Chains A and B, each alone.
Chain A
Amino acid sequence: MQVFTEKMKAADLALANYRLLYVFPCFGLGLGLGEMTVRQMCERNGISTPLFLLVCNLYSFDDYFPDMNVLTQIPLADLMLYLGNSHRDYLKNRIPAVIDKVVNLMEDCKLKNGKILMEFCEKYRQEVVAHLKYEEETVFPYIRELLGGSKATGYQIKEYELNHSNIDDALNDLKNILIKYLPPDCSVEKCRNVLIELFLFDSDLRKHTLLEDQILMTLVERIEKNSE
């Protein structure tokens, strides 16, 4: 299977999969990549090359999953940093972008029931906030403690799985509502703007979940096992 490697040009990764344009900033990377290889770019910016490649490959190839050799090279602290950055990106950029476009859509089609859709969006935003807060305030500190070698409280990473509320469902509902149940006089262009934004966000969120549920979990479970 063809995957991205450290010798490739960083720019070629973004050219091959434009959705990585959402990934780069979460590593603190800008563009203007020139002819730098992935490895050069990572070293210059103090980023773990294996982590960067892992994320890019996961985001780009549906069948990709790292083997243990790759996993053991992933610095957990850096992974959490990346996850935290993308959380902030979701709250600051991605979700507002969706909501702005919903507002824009409703202005146009004189939706007398528009308010209910706004309430839906707002409720969704709050759910995401609560979920990310849980990760930042409970899960990540626990992992940092674990990395620091202290035998942490009664918390175990398994609880994380149970607590992982299903924020995909709401996005899926919104797609269904917009495609199936919007009054026909709504502007199809504006509706499309919302939907494209939604589909992009949804597929990123799925990869993000994969990173958390499978990569982060696997690494933490290994440490938990070793510290017992």
Chain B
Amino acid sequence: MNRINKNRVGCIEPSPVVREGLKKLLEENAEFVVCSAFADLQAFRGKPGEKELDILLVNPAAISVYRQFAVRDLFPEFVDIPVVAIHYGYVDSDTLAGFDGALSIYDEGLKLRKKLRQFAQMFVRQEGATADSVDLSEREKTILIAVAKGRTNKEIAKEYNISVHTVVSHRKNISRKTGINTVAGLTVYAVFNNIVDQEDLL
């Protein structure tokens, strides 16, 4: 659970009444914050800071002129967050299929938030499911040993002559594969799997 950050929601919706209404309902319990709301795609594109979103809400009507494009292709910078449709009534299933989920403006606040939460979680899970096998690569094991020995990312980067960025990305992959995030937890994992000997850690 991410306890520090609120889910940052972006919104492309032509009606100011609906925009404000969504903002009010979604922000009711401090779980979500609507940090950018625009009437159309052009206005949305022009704004800096838009890249920091966790969820994007889009009224299909607002992008209907781009019908020939897949929804995903309209938002290439948002491959890793769910794009969710907001609709007022009937929307044909082909259109909805391009989105990662749909909200009706007739939903109550509670239901809106519950659905959004589900979409966000589902999206993460799907991404995880497409990830490669759980076995750590030799390189990852090497990094894991260094982490277990208490080395910092910077020290590891220097020792193996790679960038800190690469170390971070190895560590992310290790955590994704094992489900373990803390250094202490990774140390236990490394010992249990005979990747490192307990005596070497002292």
Residues of A in contact with B (beta carbons under 8 Å apart): 1, 63, 65, 67, 113, 115-117, 119-120, 123-124, 161-162, 164, 166, 168-170, 172-174, 176-177, 180-183, 206, 209, 213-214, 217-218
Contacts and interface: CB of A to CB of B under 8 A. Distances in A.
| Dominant SS among interface residues on chain A | helix
B28 A65 contact: yes
B74 interface: no
B110 A63 contact: yes
A57 B3 CA distance: 20
B3 A116 contact: no
A176 B182 CA distance: 12
B181 interface: yes
A113 to B, nearest CB: 5
Contacts, number: 77
B181 A172 contact: yes
A161 B1 contact: no
Contacts of A214: 29-31
B4 interface: yes
B180 interface: yes
B187 interface: yes
B188 A170 contact: no
A120 to B, nearest CB: 5
A181 B193 contact: yes
A22 B185 CA distance: 27
Interface of B: 1, 3-4, 28-31, 110, 114, 178-182, 184-189, 191-193, 198, 201
Contact of B182 (A1, A67, A170): A170
11 contacts: A116-B191, A116-B201, A162-B4, A168-B3, A177-B185, A177-B189, A181-B188, A209-B1, A209-B3, A214-B29, A218-B30
Contacts of B184: 119-120, 123-124, 170, 173
Contacts of B185: 120, 169-170, 173-174, 176-177
Nearest to B148: A116
A120 B183 CA distance: 10
A116 B182 contact: no
A172 B179 contact: yes
A218 B189 CA distance: 39
B3 A164 contact: yes
A182 B30 contact: no
A161 B33 CA distance: 15
A176 B30 contact: no
Contact of A113 (B31, B181, B192): B192
A180 B135 CA distance: 13
Given A173-B188, A181-B192, 12 more contacts: A63-B110, A115-B198, A116-B198, A120-B187, A123-B184, A168-B1, A169-B185, A173-B180, A173-B185, A176-B179, A177-B180, A209-B3
Contacts of B30: 213-214, 217-218
Nearest to A210: B3
A207 B187 CA distance: 29
Closest CB pairs A-B (n = 10):
A173-B185, A176-B179, A65-B29, A173-B180, A116-B191, A181-B192, A169-B181, A113-B191, A214-B30, A120-B184
